[in-house]
Amino acid sequence: DAGITQSPRYKITETGRQVTLMCHQTWSHSYMFWYRQDLGHGLRLIYYSAAADITDKGEVPDGYVVSRSKTENFPLTLESATRSQTSVYFCASSESLYGYTFGSGTRLTVV
Amino acid sequence: AQSVAQPEDQVNVAEGNPLTVKCTYSVSGNPYLFWYVQYPNRGLQFLLKYITGDNLVKGSYGFEAEFNKSQTSFHLKKPSALVSDSALYFCAVRALNRDDKIIFGKGTRLHILP
């Protein structure tokens, strides 16, 4: 099915563990984005990518790593999870100037 | 730097009444403006956008928004609210001549009271 999918939908992990959130889109959109959503902060951009092998930092990149070896995939890795990274994470993609399409989100809890 | 402000954390409206969710922006040059809606446990869904042309933009689910350049505002409106409109609404902006990052406001929670 065409679209943008995130996995897992829910994840609980322990402090200090590495965890990877997956994002896959089927449209071959050039741009992909990772946001986190927290109460009182709205959506904050973590990282984005303009094309395969091109990534750049957003507003809150510390503690996160991304890669984009293929156009359709944009995984987000928390190298050593902290409680402050408990959040809902959204992936989005875009081909044009006219807005983003969002995935359904991953709810991550770090205990 | 570009920014978006949604001055109200929450808006309460009685069903059947008109609703307005406010948004102001700051951007260098001409803006692209967007509204997104988020229902519980869902991702953001596109509602409408302003790129150029008519200042009144019509979108999904009967929503519309008015672009006001002099007031740098892009308020979301609907003539008659439905209980099903209850959700979290995000205003967003990007500058015309910059890269493709969109900046989002913090969101306004809309409660439609039966």
pLDDT at residue number B29? 82
pLDDT at residue number A79? 95
**A97-101, B25-29, B67-71, range with greatest mean pLDDT:** B67-71
Banded model confidence at residue A2, pLDDT cuts 50, 70, 90: low
When CB atoms are compared, the residue of A43, A94, A103 closest to B104 is: A43
pLDDT at residue number B100? 59
Mean pLDDT of B56-66: 95
Q: B35 to chain A: nearest residue by CA?
A: A99
Share of chain B above pLDDT 70, in %: 96
Banded model confidence at residue B79, pLDDT cuts 50, 70, 90: very high
Buried b (16+ CB within 10 A) or exposed e, A13-51: beeeeebebebbbeeebbbbbbbbbeeeebbbbbbbbbe
Higher pLDDT, B77 or B104: B77
pLDDT at residue number A1? 58
**A54-58, A62-66, B99-103, range with greatest mean pLDDT:** A62-66
Mean pLDDT of B22-45: 91
Mean pLDDT of B69-98: 92
pLDDT at residue number B95? 74
Long-range contacts of B48-54 (CB under 8 A, 24+ apart): B49/A98, B49/A99, B50/B74, B51/A97, B51/A98
A38, A100, A101, A107, best to mutate vs chain B, most B CBs in 10 Å: A100
Instruction: Give pLDDT tens digits for B87-101.
Output: 999 999 987 666 657
Could you tell me the CA-to-CA distances from A44 to A41, A56, A58, B81 in Å, in that order?
7, 14, 8, 29
Q: Among A36-50, A70-84, B39-53, B94-108, which is the least confidently predicted range? A: B94-108
Q: Average model confidence (pLDDT) for chain B?
A: 92
B100 contacts A94? CB cut-off 8 A: yes
Mean pLDDT of B32-57: 91
Backbone φ/ψ region at A105: left (φ over 0), alpha (ψ -120 to 50), beta: left
Chain A residues within an 8 Å CB radius of B95: none
Mean pLDDT of B73-86: 97
Mean pLDDT of A101-111: 95
In chain A, where does DSSP find H-type helix? none
Which residues of A, range 90-109, sit inside 8 Å of B by Cβ? 90, 92, 94, 97-105
* Residue B40 in this model has a pLDDT that exceeds 90: no
Q: A34 to chain B: nearest residue by CA?
A: B101
pLDDT at residue number A5? 95
Mean pLDDT of A67-72: 95
Distance CA A73, CA B8 (A): 36
Banded model confidence at residue A97, pLDDT cuts 50, 70, 90: low
